Chains A and B, each alone.
Chain A
Amino acid sequence: MRFAFTADQLELRDGLRDLLAKECSPAHVRDAWANATGRVPGLWDRLVEVGVVGMLAPESAGGLGLTYADLVLLLEETGRHAVPEPIVETAAFGVPLLGRADLTVAAAPELVPWADTADVVVTAAGRFDPATIELSPRPSVDGARRLFAVRGRAEPVEGLAEAFDRGTLGFAAQQCGLADRMLEMTVAYVKERRQFGVPVGSFQAVKHHLANARVALEFARPLVYRAAVTLDPVHVSMAKAKADGAALAAARVALQCHGAIGYTTEYDLHLYMKRAWALARSWGDAAWHRRRVGRAIL
């Protein structure tokens, strides 16, 4: 038993964190909210270049031939930076499903983000025929997530159930990254912000909110990492249920501890909070995943 990442895996994670801090800053995410695609121009190519996109594809198909345990921390980083790209849909869901690393995949059980800029669109109905596909925009609270209802002829794809589990786990990892980011922002803020002559972070009421959110994250992460090794559907559901809970708790506490500044769109918190709200209800919400765990244990 050695339930820890290797030095190499952590180094890859740190490398991606540095890259995204520069190339997917809050300013970049804001630009994605306002631009035509909802994506960050040039970022996808960088993600391909550093190997994140094709990580799970065999080397013969242009990938790195690595495992989900190698990928999971990188997906967590894409959450931390609210990367507005179909990275989970492609790297975790689409690449192993299609056996190739050169296509951008948009996918979701129902409403599909970035379907208009992807090469392939997959939903629970299957893979859509590009000749018949019809996309109707359904604007999201997260302005970067360009969401579409998809209609058209869909063909069944082998391995779809496993692909949905891999995708679900990728979003669980993103939720952990989002929760961590929101906590980090809030801790920094309450150390600076002074009222009654002291930092508001010195008040127990504020401390206890943040401690609770930190505990939720502490106990969600191991479930995500365990599922990344086993890819057992029940383990994936445990991970998504708890990661959604941790991200929603962090979002709620972050907003409350920021006070009115966090309630503005001029402040960056909403970029991460809205992503967490959206992800918590897609790819199965916590209640859906608990029902799936329940069928296995009861």
Chain B
Amino acid sequence: MDIEFGPDEERFRAECRAWLEANVPRPPLPSGDTREGFTAHLEWERTLYDARWAVVSWPREYGGREASLWEWLIFEEEYYRAGAPQRVTQNGIFLLAPTVFEFGTQEQKDRILPKMASGEQTWCQGWSEPNAGSDLAGISSRAVRDDAAGGWRLTGQKTWTTRGAFCTHLFGLFRTDPAAERHRGLTYFLVDLSSPGVTVRGVERLDGDEGFAEVFLDDVFVPDADVLGEPGRGWEVAMATTGSERGLTLRSPGRFLATAQRLVDLYRARAAAADDAWRDRLVDAWIDAEAYRWQTFATVTALAQGGRTGPESSMVKLFWSELDVRLHELALDLLGPEAELADGELASWMKGYQFALAGPIYAGTNEIQRNVVAERVLGLPRR
């Protein structure tokens, strides 16, 4: 056991911290899930990219620093500690990019990754459909071969697409073999949302932001160059992405450590009104944030020794999503009558609460995750 970071890692942390302290926008940007806020966030993404902080773990040629997983975790801890803006590029850099690195051609990598890192192109996820949510393999949007044009024609509807109204591109699964059942006969496509035949309609989320979209595709042409992986193998390609989403990269411990610290500050500010029951819940949530940090250190140690993320990532998703709800519920209890305020500094807790409530739903509902833990970690029978 060696539970200290080495001098190189501590230097990296100091460098992150110094740069973030000097550059994080104050006051905080408006929500990145609104049109004006999204634009402001893209400027911030460009600032990150120019200083090589946008995608620290990527190769240098694509704008990264070739940071180790440890350094990436450190960056995330420092990023949230500094109260830096949400990452509106996250679905590209954390969900699509790992798949591009694994399955993309050299041409695709060179064309897609730098523009993704700089925020010039922004990516939304086209998984869910009106009749395919938890049961993702039930998607019915289809793609038909167009040999003459050298590509495919896509028709169907995607929904609950985060920031779909603002993004330039969509990645998603479409059925290319109508005779094949369920998770066979699917293909992973990269779609330019400015293509003819695409209609995007923003949908207001629980918190009032236009954070969702419905994406309608009517005979949209996508060239062969924008198929990721082999046609018909889309399910396998997509599973690599959902692994990243549930596991480490979507919500690293730094986010919850920072929220727990903000909650401690809030508790202190309201100490006169605070009671022992709140204190107990606060400490419990703090310990959980620490537990997630150390559980992640164990996971990263295993990955650094050549392991792979497996069904254990479902335990991680369950844990952080429910912790996030508890943290925000406690903050609202501490705020009392001010909890409902929709304006001003305190409103960030209600906003955060509404975002936290999405956690047990997105990236595979927690009910699905519990099934995965039961069946694939504990070995219980499927039916």
Contacts and interface: CB of A to CB of B under 8 A. Distances in A.
B298 A191 contact: no
B370 A4 contact: no
Interface string B1-44: 11111100100000000000000000000000000000000000
B282 A211 contact: no
A212 B380 CA distance: 14
A241 B284 contact: yes
B315 A218 contact: yes
B292 A219 contact: yes
Nearest to A186: B378
B288 interface: yes
Interface string A1-16: 1111110000000000
B381 A2 contact: no
A260 to B, nearest CB: 20
A110 B380 CA distance: 42
A290 B3 contact: no
Interface string A264-298: 00000000000000000000000100110110011
Given A2-B2, A4-B1, A187-B378, A222 B301 contact: no
B364 to A, nearest CB: 13
A212 B370 contact: yes
Contacts of B9: 1
Name B's interface SS: helix
B380 to A, nearest CB: 4
A199 B1 contact: no
A75 interface: no
B264 interface: yes
B153 to A, nearest CB: 40
B263 to A, nearest CB: 11
Contacts of B4: 1
B374 A191 contact: no
Contacts of B304: 2
B294 interface: yes
B298 A242 contact: no
Given A2-B2, A238-B290, A215 B318 contact: yes
A293 B287 contact: yes
B70 interface: yes
A229 B380 contact: no
B225 interface: no
A294 B294 CA distance: 19
A55 interface: no
B235 interface: no
A3 B297 contact: yes
Interface residues of B, number: 49
A214 to B, nearest CB: 6
A297 B357 CA distance: 27
Contact of A191 (B6, B305, B381): B381
B283 A293 contact: yes
A183 B378 contact: yes
A297 B370 CA distance: 32
A87 to B, nearest CB: 22
B298 A222 contact: yes
B309 to A, nearest CB: 14
Nearest to B260: A297
Interface in A169-210: 183, 187, 190-191, 198-199, 201-202, 204, 206-208, 210
A290 B297 contact: no
Given A190-B380, A204-B371, A287-B280, A214 B315 contact: yes
B7 to A, nearest CB: 12
B370 A208 contact: yes
A190 B375 CA distance: 12
A82 interface: no
Contacts of A222: 291, 294-295, 297-298
Interface string B367-383: 10111011101111111
A191 B380 contact: yes
Contacts of A199: 380-381
A35 interface: no
B46 to A, nearest CB: 32
A290 B304 CA distance: 33
Between A5, A187, A215, the greatest number of chain B beta carbons within 10 A of the residue's beta carbon is seen for A215
B378 A210 contact: yes
B319 interface: yes
Contact of A290 (B1, B264, B283, B305): B283
Given A215-B315, A294-B283, A202 B380 contact: yes
Contact of A210 (B1, B287, B374): B374
- The 6 lowest CB-CB distance pairs between A and B, nearest first, are A207-B374, A222-B294, A211-B373, A211-B370, A219-B291, A3-B297
Given A198-B381, A223-B294, 9 more contacts: A3-B3, A4-B298, A191-B381, A199-B380, A211-B378, A219-B292, A290-B283, A291-B283, A297-B283
20 contacts: A1-B2, A1-B3, A1-B300, A1-B301, A2-B304, A3-B2, A3-B298, A4-B305, A187-B380, A199-B381, A201-B381, A206-B380, A207-B371, A211-B318, A214-B373, A218-B295, A219-B291, A225-B1, A225-B294, A293-B283
Interface of A: 1-6, 69, 183, 187, 190-191, 198-199, 201-202, 204, 206-208, 210-212, 214-215, 218-223, 225-226, 228-230, 238, 241-242, 287, 290-291, 293-294, 297-298
